[in-house]
Structure 1
Amino acid sequence: MRSKEAFQQVMDMIREVSPTPYDFSSDRNGEAFWTELLKSVSQSHPFDLSNYSGRKLTSKEVIEVVHKILEQFQELVEHKGLWKELWDENGKPRKEKASQRLLFAVAYSYCKANNLDLTPEADSGNGPVDFKMSQGYDSKVVVEVKLSTNTTLVHGYEKQLEIYKRADDTDLGIFLIMDVGGIGKKYADVQKVRREFLAEYGQASDIWFIDGNQKASASKRH
C-alpha cells in the first residue's frame, strides 16, 4: 500500500461486505429471479409485435413499441401473477432494483421473441438511468422506475428523469411507479408536477402507475 489512507479504504470496503451469505431463496434484492423470466415470459405469455419486426423503426414506432410493452408488463403484473416477483417469501416488497430488472426481463424477452431491432438496457449498477430502449442514436426512450414507498418519488420525476433525458440526448421519458403500498399523496404530487411541466414547456414525460400489491388467490376471493 502506498499510504495509510489507501490501506484504510481497503479495510473499510472489507468491513462493508456482509458476512452472511446472500439468501437466494428469498432473493430480497432481486438479484436472481429475473434471469429465468428472460427465457420464459415470452413463451408463457406470448405477445405479438411482429408488425415492428426485422426493420428499422421510426421514432414514433419506437415509442409505440415501448408503450405496448409497458401495457403488457402492466397486464402481467396486475392480472397474470407477475406481482409475486415483487415480493420476497416473507411477504415484504423486494428492493426497487427488482422492479427495474423485472421490466428489463419482460422487454428483452419480447424484443428477442419478435426479432425487434431495439436494444433494451438495464442499469448495470454504474449507469444512472433504470431502463432505456434504443434504436441507434436517434431513437431513445428512458424509463425511471420507482417504488411507491420511495421517499424521493416526486424528486425522481421532477429532477432525476429530466437529468437522465438530457444525458441521453432525448426528450422521450417515462416515469413508472410500481405500487407496493405507502403511496400516500405522492402520486397526486407527481401528477401536479407533470401538469406544471405541460403548462410551462408544452411537454412532459408520461407517468405509468402499476398496481404491484399482493393479491388474494382466487379461492380466497370467493
Structure 2
Amino acid sequence: MIYFSDVFGVEPEVVDTYGAFNIALVNDLPLFVDPFLLFDSERPEYRELHDDIIKYLVFVRDRAQADELTEGAISQWLFFREVKQNWLGFSRQGNSGTGLGKHFAEALARNFKRVFRNFGDETLTRSSHLEKLGLLSGGVGRDHLSDFTTNLIKGYLLKYTEDFAAAHLQPGQLKRVHIERVAFNYETRRWQSGHFMLPWHAGDYVILTPCEMLTRDEAWINQGDMVSQFFQLRLSLPDEALRAQVNDHFLRQISERSTQEERKAAALRTIEQFTDLIDYYIKWKEDHAAEAHAVSTAKVQQTHAQFVENIRELVLKHLIGTEFYERGDSYEEALQRAKYLKHVIEDNDGYRVFYVDGKPVKRESDLHTMFRLTWYATAFDVNAEVNNGRGPVDYKVSKGKQNASLVEFKLASNSSLRRNLEKQVEVYAKASQTEKSIKVIMYFSDRELEKVTGILRELKLKDREDIVLIDAGRDNKPSASNA
C-alpha cells in the first residue's frame, strides 16, 4: 500500500473531496506550500496564515536589527526540523530532508540587517512576502523557504488533518501525539506545543495538506523569474534618473559577446545594487495573482496524475500479486523488477503511466520517484543517490554490505548518456565495493532507440544483461489509438 487512502482504508475520492493531496507514504512527492497562494486566497483562514507568517518574520527582523539574535535566541526562533510527516518536498528518498539550521538562520539574519531592513513596511506592494528573502544571491534557498513556511503553518495543518481523521478514520488508526512548535507566544517569545489526534502509520503521525496551497518546481515569486523579467523591470521604474543608473550599471557589465548566463548574472548583480527593483517585481506578481492559482492548480493536477493515478494503476493493475514483489538476492531483485517493468510497459499498456497530458516524462528525477514508489513492498533497503564521494547513482538496493546492487534509471534523451554509460556505474561499483550494477534506459521513439543502441554498440555494451532498455513509446503499441 503506497498512498494515504490505501493505507487508511478510505476511498481516494474522500481525500479529494476534502481538498487534501493523497500523499504517498513511501517517498516525498515534489510539491510544496507556496506562501503566495495563502496571500491571495479567497479563504480568510489562508490569508490569516499569511499574515501570521509576516508577523513572525517582522518579529525576527526586529530582533536581528536590535542585535538580539544570540545563539540561544537563534536556536529558539530560527532552528526548525523539517516537517517530514507531510510527505512533500525535495527529498529523493523517503521523507527526510535537511531541516532548517545554522546556515538558514545566518542567511535570514543577514538579509534583515543589510538588505531588507524595511521588510514588513513596504509601501509599493500590497503585502510583505516571505519569498523576498530568497530573491538575492546568498539568500534563503527554495527548499528552506518551503520548510520554513510549513513550520510556520504547522498548527493549521495539524488541525486540518485532525478534523479529517475524526470524520473519516477509525479510532484504532489514530494516536494522540504531543507536537512541539505549533504556535508562537509573542509575550513569552517562545514556541508552544500541542496535542493532536492524528493518523498513525509506521511509527509516526501523518499530516495532510490542502491542494489549494501547493505548487511544484518554483514558487510564484522566485529568483529565476525575476531575473528573466529584468528588462521589463527596468522599464517599469517611474524615476527616470534611477532608470538611467540601473541601465548604466547593467550595461557596464556586459558586451556584445556576453552569453545568456553572463547577462543573467549581471542582471542579478544590478538588482542587488538597486533593490527597489525587487518590490516592482513583487508588485507585478501581485497584479497577476490569478495566474499563480491557474499555474499551481495545473501543476498539482499533473503531479497527482503522474505520481498518484498513474502509479496506482501500474501497481494495482500490473504489479501487485505478481513475481515483481518476490525476489531474494539484491541483484536478482533489481534486475527482475526492471525486466518485469519492461514487460508491463511494452506488452501490457504500462507505458501509459509515463505520459501526462499526452506528453512523455521529461525529467529523470520524475522517473526516479515513479520507480521508487513501485518498490514499496520490498524487504530490501532502497537508498536514493548513494553518496560516497564519486558522483550519484540513483539507487542502492541492499540487505547488508555483502548483498548490495546499484541501479540507475536514465532517459534516452539525456545528453550525457554516453559519458554516463562509460563511467558512472563502473566508478560506483569500485567505490562501493560491489560488482553488481544495473542500468535501466527508457526511450519514447525510434530515434531515441537508435541513439541508445548506437552508443551501446560503440562501447561494446550491446546485449548486456545488466543494461535494460524499455520502450515506452506509444506509436508502436496496438492500443495506442485508445491512449
Per-residue deviation at 1:43? 3.7
Whether 1:9 and 2:9 are equivalent positions in the alignment is: no
Give CA-to-partner distance per residue, 1:163-183, whole Å, 9 cap, x none.
Answer: 332343321111111012342
Query: Could you tell me how far apart the structure 1 residues matched to 2:307 and 2:472 are?
Result: 16
Is the CA contact (8 Å cut-off) linking 1:173 and 1:205 kept in structure 2?
Answer: no
One-letter amino acid of the structure 2 residue matched with residue 207 of structure 1: I
For 1:200, the equivalent position in structure 2 comes to none
- Secondary structure at the aligned position of 1:208 is classed as strand
For 2:369, the equivalent position in structure 1 comes to 101
The 5 A counterparts of 1:1-222 are 1=110, 8-10=137-139, 14-16=222-224, 21-22=295-296, 23-27=299-303, 33-35=306-308, 41-45=314-318, 46-48=321-323, 52=327, 57=328, 61-106=329-374, 108-109=375-376, 112=377, 116-123=378-385, 128-181=392-445, 182-183=447-448, 184-195=450-461, 206-215=466-475, 218=479, 220=481
Is the CA contact (8 Å cut-off) linking 1:178 and 1:212 kept in structure 2?
Answer: yes
One-letter amino acid of the structure 1 residue matched with residue 459 of structure 2: V
1:11–1:188 Cα change, 3 Å: same
One-letter amino acid of the structure 2 residue matched with residue 16 of structure 1: G
1:131–1:205 Cα change, 3 Å: farther
For 2:71, the equivalent position in structure 1 comes to none
Per-residue deviation at 1:74? 0.7
Per-residue deviation at 1:211? 0.1
Structure 2 segments unaligned to the other structure (5+ residues): 1-109, 116-133, 143-221, 227-284, 286-291
Please identify the structure whose Cα radius of gyration is greater.
2
1:190–1:89 Cα change, 3 Å: same
1:149–1:101 Cα change, 3 Å: same
Per-residue deviation at 1:147? 0.8
Per-residue deviation at 1:210? 0.4
- Secondary structure at the aligned position of 2:139 is classed as helix
Per-residue deviation at 1:161? 1.8
CA RMSD of aligned residues (A): 3.8
- Secondary structure at the aligned position of 2:407 is classed as strand
Is the CA contact (8 Å cut-off) linking 2:411 and 2:441 kept in structure 1?
Answer: yes
Give CA-to-partner distance per residue, 1:179-206, whole Å, 9 cap, x none.
Answer: 123424332222432459xxxxxxx882
Per-residue deviation at 1:94? 3.2
Is the CA contact (8 Å cut-off) linking 1:26 and 1:90 kept in structure 2?
Answer: no
- Secondary structure at the aligned position of 1:24 is classed as helix
Per-residue deviation at 1:153? 1.0
Per-residue deviation at 1:92? 4.2
Structure 1 segments unaligned to the other structure (5+ residues): 197-203
Per-residue deviation at 1:212? 0.8
1:75–1:195 Cα change, 3 Å: closer
1:159–1:36 Cα change, 3 Å: same
1:80–1:136 Cα change, 3 Å: same
Per-residue deviation at 1:88? 2.1
Please report the TM-score for the alignment, with normalisation by the length of structure 2: 0.35
| Higher RCO by CA contacts (8 Å cutoff, separation 6 or greater) | 1
Is the CA contact (8 Å cut-off) linking 2:395 and 2:406 kept in structure 1?
Answer: yes
One-letter amino acid of the structure 2 residue matched with residue 48 of structure 1: E
1:145–1:139 Cα change, 3 Å: same
Identity within the alignment, %: 18
Per-residue deviation at 1:131? 2.2
Query: Could you tell me how far apart the structure 1 residues matched to 2:311 and 2:356 are?
Result: 19
Per-residue deviation at 1:214? 1.8
Per-residue deviation at 1:37? 6.5
One-letter amino acid of the structure 2 residue matched with residue 25 of structure 1: Q
For 2:203, the equivalent position in structure 1 comes to none
Number of equivalenced pairs: 197
Query: Could you tell me how far apart the structure 1 residues matched to 2:461 and 2:358 are?
Result: 39
1:41–1:205 Cα change, 3 Å: closer
- Secondary structure at the aligned position of 1:16 is classed as helix
1:164–1:78 Cα change, 3 Å: same
Query: Could you tell me how far apart the structure 1 residues matched to 2:141 and 2:324 are?
Result: 49
Query: Could you tell me how far apart the structure 2 residues matched to 1:156 and 1:47 are?
Result: 32
Is the CA contact (8 Å cut-off) linking 1:62 and 1:139 kept in structure 2?
Answer: yes
